Amino acid sequence: MNEMTNESPQKSFWQDTAECWQRLPNKAFFFVLLGGWLLLFQFFGNPILGYVHSPSIFTWMMSQYNRPESDDSHGPLVPFLVVGIFWWKRHELLGLPLKMWTPGLPILVLAMAMQIFGYLIQQPYITIAAMFTGVWALMGLAWGPQWLRYSLFPFVLFVFCVPLGAHGQVITFPLQQLVSWLTEKVAHVLGVDVVRVGTQLFDPSGSYGYEVAAACSGIRSLVVVFLLATTYGFIAFDTWRQRLLLIALAVPFAILGNLLRMVLIIMVAALVSFDAGNYIHASPIFSVLPYVPAIAGFLLMGRWLERREEKKSSA
């Protein structure tokens, strides 16, 4: 005779997603308002038509993402990442007391005021901030204050949707100087004579030379590492202290990764040949090298934080 068990069969990905979708209240209310809100930015979003001749803020953003040598090309991926985080936390979100919450309306009014102000003074960055603030406010209207509070952290990721453009030089130039200085010092420790002139590195005979350009200095990897830290912190940990610690480590981890890549290029150029150093510089395989210290560091720090919490709970 077959034994009866109380174990329910494990749901598939699609079954679980469909069930969560059915449990989500006020869907029509939210998505109708969301559609209307995004249409506003489609037709009255871009205040500087002279640069990108379209009224859409989305068209303006894509034009910035697709610029040659753009450091903002990651922007279109961020909304998918945020949606993925919301899906990952779907059971926790649906466990909250979800209800219509009219106090979210003042936040929406604030977002509208930001949009009008940004449009009048022709500042698309304020317009973008207004758009994401409005989406966050609509979530509060549809699902209540606890959802609003819980979703604040993943909404921080939308900061990485804002194209930096020339404004990124405020970050890139100090990084260029720091990485070039560190590369010179580490190369000397390893016995390779390198001469640094500004952000350029040469050997004394002049047989090879490299410039620590803006992209090589870490602005791209810094953004990606920040995204990794924020995503991992939100998924793996529940307290703001732990999450902020991981985010704070993004800067030294990004610098360490780019330093590792630059030192490898200099060492190969000095010990093998300039062409070999150029191969390391241009290789897509070695371009992922800056992320290795960050991923390893986040995993080790995450494990340390987990053990620390385990010791506290056992004590």
pLDDT tens digits in sequence order for the chain, 315 residues long? 444 444 445 778 889 999 999 999 999 999 999 999 999 999 998 888 767 788 999 999 998 888 876 777 888 989 998 998 899 889 999 999 999 999 999 999 999 999 999 999 989 999 999 999 999 999 999 999 999 998 888 888 898 888 876 666 666 677 778 888 888 888 888 888 887 877 777 777 766 666 665 555 556 777 888 888 888 888 888 788 888 888 889 888 888 888 888 888 888 887 887 788 778 877 878 778 878 888 899 989 988 988 888 887 776
In a domain, 52, yes or no: yes
My answer on whether 146 and 229 are in the same domain is no
> Domain boundary residue among 117, 137, 163?
163
Give the strand pairing for 200-202 and 209-211.
antiparallel
Q: Are 183 and 136 in contact (CB under 8 A)?
A: no
> Domain boundary residue among 163, 195, 214?
163
My answer on whether 221 and 141 are in the same domain is no
- What is the distance between the alpha carbons of residues 225 and 22, in angstroms, rounded to a whole number? 35
Of 148, 24, 12, nearest to 95 by C-alpha is 24
Please list the alpha-helical segments (H only) found in 71-168: 78-88, 90-94, 105-120, 124-143, 145-155
Q: What's the structural domain count of the chain?
A: 2
- Can you tell me which residue has the tokens 């390391």? 280
In a domain, 110, yes or no: yes
My answer on whether 141 and 175 are in the same domain is no
My answer on whether 135 and 253 are in the same domain is no
Reduced to 3 DSSP states, what percent helix, strand and coil does the chain have, rounded to the nearest 5?
A: 70, 5, 25
My answer on whether 294 and 174 are in the same domain is yes
Q: Are 292 and 264 in contact (CB under 8 A)?
A: no
- Can you tell me which residue has the tokens 């150093």? 277
In a domain, 315, yes or no: no
In a domain, 9, yes or no: no
My answer on whether 141 and 172 are in the same domain is no
- What is the distance between the alpha carbons of residues 31 and 315, in angstroms, rounded to a whole number? 47
In a domain, 68, yes or no: yes
The boundaries of the domain holding residue 105 are: 24-163
My answer on whether 154 and 204 are in the same domain is no
In a domain, 10, yes or no: no
pLDDT tens, position by position, 149-208: 988 888 888 988 888 766 666 666 777 788 888 888 888 888 888 878 777 777 777 666
> Domain boundary residue among 163, 183, 216?
163
Of 217, 222, 192, 218, nearest to 205 by C-alpha is 192
- What is the distance between the alpha carbons of residues 250 and 294, in angstroms, rounded to a whole number? 7
